[in-house]
């Protein structure tokens, strides 16, 4: 009886199996094999849609056919006037999540491609200076974090489940239920200083420093790790319970 595994141990084992499966899948489709600038240089960031053949030719040039099979699922498409395109924003953020960290040196400083991309992506939408600090309640910043979490927790997970013919259940599928909580934790982490205090703004230098300190920052692994932690420490269940209580109050 003393050797009987606990419910938490069983739950941990389930998560470990799912983690192994999704990691193998991401390796199969060529994730973390390319630098961000390698792939984004071929896509016009200002576009809202990308023609099917244009993107698929590019994908087959840089990634294995399995990556193409992956993005051909419905989540990454957009229908306009009956014609199917790829949703440019979703594809760009997918490549952001699945690209490896890379830095370029200039004089005595290293600049991470992903840190630079974040400021370009956010600032270009308001025609602002690229080096202007990000504030915590800034709409474009909040949308960016929300969108990358959505791309992973909904888009990547759904396509993975469909391709591997896995039942729509389990810990990985549950990530969508507390997507907002993952977003909140990411934002909190980004605005946390080295001294574990909260900063009022995010400067380009601060974001660059965070990428230097954590090579998994804002990758698919990073998002999953936050989700697993919420599940294992019971926080996800408490969050779901609280949300249901709030929904019931609104119905009254």
Summarised one tens digit per residue, pLDDT across range 84-110 is 999 999 999 999 999 888 777 665 567
Domain ranges of the chain: 9-237
In SS3 terms, 169-234 reads as CHHHHHHHHHHHHHHHHHHHHHCECCCCCECCEECHHHHHHHHHHCCCCCCHHHHHHHHHHHHHCC
pLDDT at 3 over 60: no
5-22: pLDDT as tens digits: 334 445 467 688 899 999
Written as six digits, the tokens of 97 are: 């999540």
pLDDT of residue 175: 92
**Are the beta carbons of 90 and 104 closer than 8 angstroms?**
no
**Percentages helix, strand, coil for the chain, rounded to the nearest 5?**
60, 10, 25
| Average pLDDT across the chain, whole number | 84
Q: Any residues with CB less than 8 A from the CB of 165 and at least 6 apart, and which?
A: none
């Amino acid at each position: 009886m003393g050797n009987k595994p606990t419910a938490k141990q069983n739950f941990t084992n389930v998560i470990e199996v799912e983690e192994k499966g999704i990691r193998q899948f991401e390796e199969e489709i060529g994730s973390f094999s390319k630098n961000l600038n390698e792939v984004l240089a071929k896509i016009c960031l200002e576009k809202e849609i990308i023609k099917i053949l244009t993107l698929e030719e590019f994908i087959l040039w840089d990634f294995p056919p399995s990556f193409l099979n992956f993005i051909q699922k419905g989540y990454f498409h957009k229908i306009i006037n009956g014609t199917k395109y790829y949703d440019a924003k979703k594809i760009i953020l997918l490549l952001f999540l699945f690209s490896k960290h890379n830095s370029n040196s200039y004089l005595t400083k290293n600049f991470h491609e992903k840190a630079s991309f974040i400021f370009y992506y956010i600032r270009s939408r308001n025609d602002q200076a690229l080096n202007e600090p990000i504030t915590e309640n800034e709409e474009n910043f909040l949308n960016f974090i929300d969108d990358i979490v959505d791309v992973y927790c909904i888009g990547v997970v759904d396509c993975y489940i469909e391709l591997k013919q896995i039942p729509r259940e389990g810990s990985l599928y549950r990530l969508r239920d507390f997507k907002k909580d993952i977003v909140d934790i990411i934002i909190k982490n980004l605005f946390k200083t080295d001294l574990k205090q909260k900063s009022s703004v995010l400067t380009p230098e601060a974001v660059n420093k965070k990428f230097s300190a954590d090579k998994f920052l804002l990758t698919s692994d990073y998002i999953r790790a936050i989700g697993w932690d919420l599940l294992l420490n019971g926080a996800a269940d408490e969050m779901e319970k609280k949300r249901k209580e709030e929904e019931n109050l609104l119905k009254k």
